[in-house]
Amino acid sequence: MPELRTEPLVVNFGPQHPSTHGVFRMRVVLDGERVVDVEMVMGYLHRSMEKLAEERTYTQNIPFTDRMDYLSAMTGNLAYCLAVEKLAGIEVPERAQYLRVIFSELQRIANHCMAIGIFLNDCGAWQTPVMWMFRDREKILDLFEMTCGARLTTNYMRIGGVSFDLPDEFMPRANALVQELPDRISEYESLLLENEILQARARDVGVLSPELAIASSVSGPILRSTGVAWDIRKADPYCVYDRMEFDIPVGYRGDNYDRFLVRMEEMRQSVRILRQALEQLPPGPFKTDIPLALRPPVGETYARVESPKGELGFYLVSDGGPTPYRFHVRPPSLLNITALKEMTVGLTVSDLVITLGSTDIVLGEVDR
Amino acid sequence: MTKLIPGAETAARIRAAIPDAELEEAADWVVVDAPHLVALATFLRDDEYFDCRYPTAITGVDRLDHFEVVYHLSSLQRNHMVILKTRALDHEAPELPSVVPVWYGAHLQEREIYDLMGIRFSGHPSLKRIFLWEGFAGHPLRKDFLTLPSGHKPGLAHFPKE
């Protein structure tokens, strides 16, 4: 019988496709059902924030940082404010530092609810896990709303502190949430962890080796799922993370299932940090006064935080004027997909979808 | 805390290993000449002391008469950071050697610098524009790209007294 000759097929995956999590396009070369080559095409959401920021004052640039990773605006705000404070040598009051930790960790839980829920959506658990996890995310967004008036693009952090102090009803609601979250997470774990379909879909799919992960600047839960215990909160503590007790969850296979596990465990650790931070929250001022048009001295700096997606860094260059001379973002979402081709070649199309989903990509941050 | 290795220490160690590299040292960073960039990057990655296997952030800065490319390099094991800089002296057609063979993580970052700042990285496996389309006129992050008349900055117009 003569051998059947087949031709590679080029498929444009996206940009308008629900499983690309935004406007992301993959030019996929297929041999039957198998992926032979992946070319990433992006820029559909490029707003040139780095250029726009060069014409605005340091304070006016804070809202841009919400709109990069719009699922975790708090950590975006925080990274930028830390960079400006480092550049200008501004001291932040202790209460503000605790508030920053509290809101960063709330944001991490909200982001991971979204990341896990949507990942399971991609796996085929249509909408049920998402809706369950949105129940918790909703309560966190309510806390944001009562504190700063916004749910998604919070614009909460300020250079030298935060914009508002906590309202009276915050503490009881936050404490109640921290009480009930561990039970909720246990509930999700009992539903999902040993689910046969999830195991079959995610185990040993999209494997990333620790060597490749390090060489290709991968950070966050994806790096930790390969077995590298690297967390900026421990390695380079900012705010008051050095006073908090928590563990860094790591995986060891670097596959989609381990990324899911690491995120699940990170939510537990965030609850642990929240408990300590809410308990230790000191009274006092929540911001320092800075000039309206802040003029940091000539120089440059790089400051970073552990955002839910990975290492979010800001590189700022000041020429002594009221606007930054150079404003550069080190976006974790963009660098985490550097090795996407290596992770997905050889998989089927349906596994390509969940591997992209497991990197927790946000196109607002990829394109900026 | 992540230790930032001072420029003087980095320079001293590099001079001992690669004697003919032209270095300029500052408090926090080292500036290397473009021809020695790849050799130096390989040295920083493989050296037992530096162990910079993790390229944290790579970016470019337009310094009006030349371009500067800044490499923030880290060692996750030793928890320290080295800042390396290099210069592309030709402002019209800047070109630098690519470090993608040394760190795969430079792949998308160099494409971004090429797209937005117009620095060509020779030896890059697929140097294409990343955010803007092929044929877009100019490179937006250059300081001479579409400046407003009389250096007007819209953000500052709200603070006439400042």
Domain residue extents for chain B: 3-133
Q: Rounded CA gap, B87 and A57, in Å?
A: 28
DSSP assignment string, A117-166 = HHHHHHHT--SHHHHHHHHHHHHHHHHHHHHHS-SSS---EETTEESSPP
Q: Rounded CA gap, A332 and A318, in Å?
A: 23
**Angstroms from B10 CA to nearest CA on chain A:** 18
Task: Give residue A1's pLDDT.
Answer: 62
Task: Give residue B72's pLDDT.
Answer: 92
Contacts of A315 in chain B (CB under 8 A): 57, 59, 70, 72
**Is residue B156 scored above 70 in pLDDT?**
no
Task: Give residue B9's pLDDT.
Answer: 85
Q: How many domains does chain A have?
A: 1
**Is residue B3 scored above 70 in pLDDT?**
yes
**Is residue A21 in a domain?**
no
Contact A254, A208 (CB under 8 A): yes
As beta bridge partners, residue B95 has: B120
Q: What is the pLDDT of residues A281-310, one digit of tens each?
A: 899 898 888 887 888 899 899 999 999 998
Task: Give residue A177's pLDDT.
Answer: 92
What is the CATH classification number for the domain harbouring A155? 1.10.645.10
Asked if A48's CB is within 8 angstroms of B140's CB, the reply is yes
At residue B151 the predicted structure's pLDDT band, cuts being 50, 70 and 90, is low
Strand runs labelled E in chain A? 9-13, 16-17, 22-23, 25-31, 34-41, 157-158, 161-162, 299-307, 310-318, 326-330
Q: What is the pLDDT of residues B59-87, one digit of tens each?
A: 999 888 889 999 999 998 888 999 999 98
Asked if A322's CB is within 8 angstroms of B154's CB, the reply is no
For residues A160-178, give the mean pLDDT.
90
Task: Give residue A123's pLDDT.
Answer: 84
Interface of B with A in 68-87 (CB under 8 A): 70, 72, 76, 79, 83
**Angstroms from B12 CA to nearest CA on chain A:** 23
Which of B54, B111, B127, B141 to mutate to test binding with chain A, by most A CBs within 10 Å of its CB? Answer: B54
**Is residue A24 in a domain?**
no
Q: Is B108 on the interface with A (CB under 8 A)?
A: yes
Which of A49, A50, A218, A326 to mutate to test binding with chain B, by most B CBs within 10 Å of its CB? Answer: A326
Percent of chain A with pLDDT over 70: 100
**Angstroms from A71 CA to nearest CA on chain B:** 21
For β-strands B3-4 and B80-88, DSSP reports them as: parallel
Write the residue in A42, A292, A367 that is nearest to B162 by C-beta: A292
Which of B3, B44, B51, B59 to mutate to test binding with chain A, by most A CBs within 10 Å of its CB? Answer: B59
Angle at B89 between CA B87 and CA B90, to 5 degrees: 140
Task: Give residue A144's pLDDT.
Answer: 92
Q: Rounded CA gap, A298 and A320, in Å?
A: 5
For β-strands B95-97 and B120-122, DSSP reports them as: parallel
**Is residue B162 scored above 60 in pLDDT?**
no
Q: Please name which of A103, A159, A148 lies closest in space to residue A288, comparing C-alpha atoms.
A: A159
Asked if A313's CB is within 8 angstroms of B54's CB, the reply is no
Measured between CA atoms, the residue of chain A closest to residue B140 is A51
What is the number of alpha carbons within 13 Å of residue A167 lying toward its C-beta?
11
Contacts of A339 in chain B (CB under 8 A): 104
Task: Give residue B147's pLDDT.
Answer: 64
Q: What is the pLDDT of residues A85-98, one digit of tens each?
A: 999 989 899 999 99
Task: Give residue A21's pLDDT.
Answer: 78
Contacts of A323 in chain B (CB under 8 A): 153, 155-156
Q: Rounded CA gap, A201 and A204, in Å?
A: 9
Asked if B79's CB is within 8 angstroms of A236's CB, the reply is yes
For residues A160-173, give the mean pLDDT.
89
Q: Which residues contact A18 (CB under 8 A, 6 or more apart)?
A: none
Q: Please name which of A302, A109, A341, A309 lies closest in space to residue A219, comparing C-alpha atoms.
A: A309
**Is residue A295 in a domain?**
yes
Write the residue in B55, B104, B154 that is nearest to A55 by C-beta: B154
Contacts of range A65-70, beta carbons closer than 8 Å, 24 or more positions apart? A66/A152, A66/A153, A66/A154, A66/A155, A67/A153, A67/A364, A68/A329, A68/A331, A68/A364, A68/A365, A68/A368, A69/A307, A69/A309, A69/A312, A69/A331, A69/A333, A69/A362, A69/A364, A69/A365, A70/A152, A70/A153, A70/A362, A70/A364
As beta bridge partners, residue A300 has: A317
**Is residue A44 in a domain?**
no
Q: Rounded CA gap, A231 and A210, in Å?
A: 15
Task: Give residue A140's pLDDT.
Answer: 92
**Is residue A343 in a domain?**
yes
Q: Which two tokens stand for residue A67?
A: 């709109």
**Angstroms from A328 CA to nearest CA on chain B:** 7
Asked if B130's CB is within 8 angstroms of A42's CB, the reply is yes
Q: Is B123 left (phi over 0), alpha (psi -120 to 50) or beta?
A: left
Task: Give residue B152's pLDDT.
Answer: 63
Ranking A248-262, A298-312, A315-329, B146-160 by mean pLDDT, the lowest is B146-160
Task: Give residue A100's pLDDT.
Answer: 92
**Count of beta carbons in the 10 Å neighbourhood of residue A285:** 14
Task: Give residue B161's pLDDT.
Answer: 60
Interface of B with A in 23-62 (CB under 8 A): 53-57, 59, 61-62
**Is residue A271 scored above 90 in pLDDT?**
yes
CATH of domain B3-133: 3.30.460.80
The mean predicted confidence, pLDDT, of chain A is 88
**Angstroms from A199 CA to nearest CA on chain B:** 30
Summarize chain B as % helix, strand, coil (round to 5).
Answer: 25, 25, 45
Q: Please name which of A251, A260, A249 lies closest in space to residue A201, comparing C-alpha atoms.
A: A260
Task: Give residue B159's pLDDT.
Answer: 64
Q: Rounded CA gap, B119 and B109, in Å?
A: 12
For β-strands A25-31 and A157-158, DSSP reports them as: unpaired
Q: Is B116 on the interface with A (CB under 8 A)?
A: yes
**Count of beta carbons in the 10 Å neighbourhood of residue B65:** 8
The interface predicted TM-score of the complex, written ipTM, equals 0.87
Asked if B162's CB is within 8 angstroms of A330's CB, the reply is no
Residue type, B116: L
**Angstroms from B85 CA to nearest CA on chain A:** 13
Asked if A326's CB is within 8 angstroms of B54's CB, the reply is no
**Is residue A40 in a domain?**
no
**Is residue A317 scored above 80 in pLDDT?**
yes
Measured on CA atoms in the order B144, B146, B152, B156, is the torsion positive or negative? negative
* DSSP-derived 3-state class of residue B70: strand
**Angstroms from A228 CA to nearest CA on chain B:** 9
Write the residue in B56, B61, B131 that is nearest to A217 by C-beta: B56
At residue A197 the predicted structure's pLDDT band, cuts being 50, 70 and 90, is confident
As beta bridge partners, residue B88 has: B67
Contacts of range A181-186, beta carbons closer than 8 Å, 24 or more positions apart? A181/A109, A181/A136, A181/A267, A181/A271, A182/A268, A182/A271, A184/A135, A184/A136, A185/A264, A185/A267, A185/A268, A185/A271
Q: Please name which of A217, A236, A254 lies closest in space to residue A336, comparing C-alpha atoms.
A: A217
Q: What is the pLDDT of residues A38-82, one digit of tens each?
A: 988 888 888 888 888 888 888 889 999 988 888 889 999 999 999
Contacts of A311 in chain B (CB under 8 A): 56
The mean predicted confidence, pLDDT, of chain B is 84
For residues A184-208, give the mean pLDDT.
87
